[in-house]
Amino acid sequence: MKRSGLWVALLLAGVAAAAGGGYWWGMQQVGHSSVEMPAAITAPVERKILYYRNPMGLPDTSPVPKQDSMGMDYTPVYADEAVSNNQVKISTDKVQKLGVKTEQAQLRKMVNTIRAVGQFQFNEQRLSTVTTKFEGYIEKLHVNATGQPVRRGQPLMEVYSPELVSAQEEYLIAWNGKQSMSNGTPESLVGIGQLAESALKRLRNWDISDAQLQRLKKDGKATRTLTMYSPANGVVLEKAAVEGMRFMPGEPLFKIADLSKIWLLADVFEQDIALVHVGQTVNITVNAYPGKELRGKIDYIYPTVTPETRTVKVRVVLTNPDGLLKPDMYASIQLMSDHGASVLAVPDSAVIDSGIRQIVLVQLREGLYEPREVKLGMRSDGYIEVTEGLSEGENVVVRANFLIDSESNLKAALSSFGDNGLPESSLPISAETNPAPITGHEGH
């Protein structure tokens, strides 16, 4: 009995020890586990919904969830997606699909290229008319065809004039009398000298050259005919002289044009005339000589405007030593006009012109654009000057800006500009209820 009681006591002591050890081990595990337990996950912050917009991009919003006529759910617009009411937001994938391209507004030299067309004309400063100051008859023509080239001093015709013969005889009588009376009284010498001088002046007033007068003195007899010479190099434009005809004083017999320098009269459009000035060098191409480029300088700007074409004639002077350029030939001119200092400019494709004002889309960041009204200046080869509304280095949309207008309801953004903008009816307001104030739209 005593031995069985001892075994029972030992068994109870072992059970108690095991229970105590298990309790101690369990407390250790609990303490260790509390140290390594991960931090509790915080509950997600709820995003505030401003309104719901039409899933098809129509200008229709709702303050509460709804569906369109096709059963599609309206898309929520969250507060953290809102933009200023004068900005436009487009999703990144939509930007890629639209092919949006931007370019920086930069300072650049504005060089305008002005083009015009014109015709070559005779140089009016190099036209000569052959006429006489006495009456007579044409005895012989040395130049008898229109268009015939002539040189300065070349004989044109021989004329007979009774007045001319009489004047020559009077001069010879006075000249010979002066020589024979070298020992006469002073009074007689003065008289005969005045007579000779008077006859000489009469011949000179009829444009008789000194060489002809010297020959008259040398030969000592009057010639029946007088040779008329060309006053300049050129070609005969008009020939009224006919062999055997009678002519009167002042009647034009030949008209000669010197073509060594020729005029080009070009028609410059009225809006370009402020960029043209005297002395400017122009490049000229002639239809008759393709591939050959000529240069000339603007000599004169005519003071009148042709009302039918709204153009101003500009005169360019060119040298024409070989006679390749002929009157009435067509030509094209091109000139470069440099405006001096650099100005802020953007590509002209960046400007949305409504006719009342001009707008550019400024990229604030990827997918976020701000329509901005600008004032424009001069244009030059695809670029346009911006005088107000833009700063150097700002990116402007140069391609797909009209698509952004279509996709993102740009009209609503422009309405924030004031009374000159679009009416409030163009704002995306739901037809059912009046939502809370809308701060922006996002196109998808």
pLDDT digits (tens, 9 = 90+) for 162-175: 988 888 888 887 77
Does the structure show a pLDDT above 70 at 421? no
Q: Sort 331 into a burial class: Cβ within 10 Å, 0-12 / 13-18 / 19+.
A: buried
Average pLDDT over residues 31-38: 46
d(CA 9, CA 298): 133
CATH 3.40.50.720 fits 261-338, yes or no: no
Token pair, residue 251, equals 């009647």
Are domains 84-109+342-443 and 261-338 of this chain identical in fold? no
Is the per-residue pLDDT at 250 higher than 80?
yes
Q: In this model, does residue 143 exceed pLDDT 90?
A: yes
Would the pLDDT of 227 be above 70? yes
Tokens, residue 353:
């012109």
CATH number of 84-109+342-443: 2.40.420.20
What does residue 403 show for φ and ψ, rounded to 5 degrees?
Answer: -70, -35
Whether pTM exceeds 0.75: no
pLDDT at 430 (0 to 100): 33
Q: How far apart are the C-alpha atoms of 330 and 311, rounded to whole Å?
A: 17
219-to-172, 176, 178, 214, 247 alpha-carbon distances in Å: 10, 12, 17, 9, 28
The residue with greater pLDDT, 346 or 336, is 346
The band of 265, judged by pLDDT with boundaries at 50, 70 and 90, is very high
The domain limits of the chain are: 84-109+342-443, 132-251, 261-338
DSSP-derived 3-state class of residue 217? helix
Structure confidence by residue, pLDDT tens digits, 46-79 = 777 877 878 776 767 888 898 888 888 888 877 6
Q: What mean pLDDT, rounded, does the chain reach?
A: 78
Which residues, including other chains, have CB under 8 Å from residue 397's CB and lie 6 or more apart? 100, 101, 102, 350, 360, 361, 362, 363, 369, 404
The candidate with the shortest Cα–Cα distance to 441, out of 102, 73, 101, 54, is 54
Q: What is the mean pLDDT of residues 26-51?
A: 56
Residues in the chain: 444
d(CA 387, CA 344): 7
pLDDT average, residue stretch 236-263: 94
Q: Give residue for tokens 């043209």.
A: 276
